[in-house]
Amino acid sequence: MSHSIRVIDSHTGGEPTRIVIAGGPDLGGGSVAEQVKVFNEQHDALRRSLVTEPRGWEAMVGGLLVPSPDPTCDRGIIFFNNVGTLGMCVHGTIGLAVTLGYLGQMESGKQQIETSVGKVQFHLIDDHTVEVVNVASYRYRHHVTVNVEGLGDLTGDVAWGGNWFFLVNDHGQDLCLENVNHLIQVTTKIRQALAQQQITGADGEEIDHIELFSPTDNPNADSKNFVLCPGNEYDRSPCGTGTSAKIACLLEDQVLAPGDIWRQESIVGSIFQARGEWCPEGEVRKCIPTIQGTAFITGDSEVIMQAEDPFRNGMDG
Ligand code: PYC
């Protein structure tokens, strides 16, 4: 007995996405947040088989298309990586839009999807270029100091962009590709220190993404970043949820005005173009970020899981 699943692979600014097109499980309907619960409880082996070795690799982000009960949404999506599900993933949404275009399923050029953390719109501008209107984003805490083993006191902001981020400008690290292993170690220590010192997002939620910024000498970008994702892989793209968190901070600091463009470069040199608009007044001041990036199809295949394969669910069984 074997089970096969059709996937389309793409990369967005170097960061891979694997969208499950057919053969995924029935999660019983309900909101996407409810379906995420079923996916986590009953289908974790499927997550591992799709995005970890030997069928995937640790940096890959998966997207499972699911129905949405919301009549304003075209579909729902559950994003996941090598260690679990993600709230939102902008590079994955850019990959989704290009994938749907490749499949001839983007007739109107625009769609709205339901994620576990809110509704997101995307617009396929051409075969490769996509604009994503992300979930409302905001700075939760300003100038938070954390003591990090071997690094001393570091100060950053805690912000939401569809996932929780700790954003640090002043860190003394050289953000270059040759330094990636060291940057992973440093940002892992920062994440551990935040957890130990009980510095969290709203409602005690774990800050699972760490984002370092530096100036760039690329004339087409305003800043360069390095983003550590849960699962200890770094984002090859500029990280759209991280860029959304950055936009919220830049608007708060009045470095950007609503509508101003911010060009965020990733550690591999890919660029997202972003802007934000304030939401109508609410309890917490939030903005709506719009992120533009490009993606390219890299594969269209059937992933096969043979029952007798000891590694059908990844290396962890
Ligand atoms: O682009 O939002 C993003 C993202 C999150 C994790 C990896 N990429």
pLDDT digits (tens, 9 = 90+) for 252-289: 999 999 999 999 999 999 999 999 999 988 778 999 99
89 lines ligand 1 (CB under 6 A): yes
Question: Are the C-beta atoms of residues 168 and 210 closer than 8 Å to each other?
Answer: yes
Active-site entry in 89, 229, 249, 287:
89
**For residue 78, what are the β-bridge partners?**
64
239 lines ligand 1 (CB under 6 A): yes
Q: How confident is the model at residue 304 (pLDDT cuts 50, 70, 90)?
A: very high
Q: 12 C-alpha to center of ligand 1: Å?
A: 10
Q: Is the dihedral of CA 176, 179, 180, 186 positive or negative?
A: negative
d(CA 57, CA 8): 15
Where do runs of H (alpha helix) occur along the chain?
32-42, 44-51, 90-102, 180-196, 240-252
The β-bridge relationship of strands 164-168 and 75-80 is: unpaired
Q: Read off the pLDDT of residues 170-189 as tens digits, 9 standing for 90 and up.
A: 999 999 999 999 999 999 99
Taking the CA of residue 91 as reference, the ligand 1 atom at the shortest distance is 1
Question: Are the C-beta atoms of residues 164 and 157 closer than 8 Å to each other?
Answer: no
**Mean pLDDT on 14-41:** 96
227 lines ligand 1 (CB under 6 A): no
Active site residue 73: no
Give phi and psi for 105, each to the nearest 5.
-115, 30
Q: Name the average pLDDT for the chain.
A: 96
Q: Read off the pLDDT of residues 89-141 as tens digits, 9 standing for 90 and up.
A: 999 999 999 999 999 999 999 999 999 999 999 999 999 999 999 999 999 99
pTM of the prediction? 0.97
How many residues in total does the chain contain? Answer: 317
120 lines ligand 1 (CB under 6 A): no
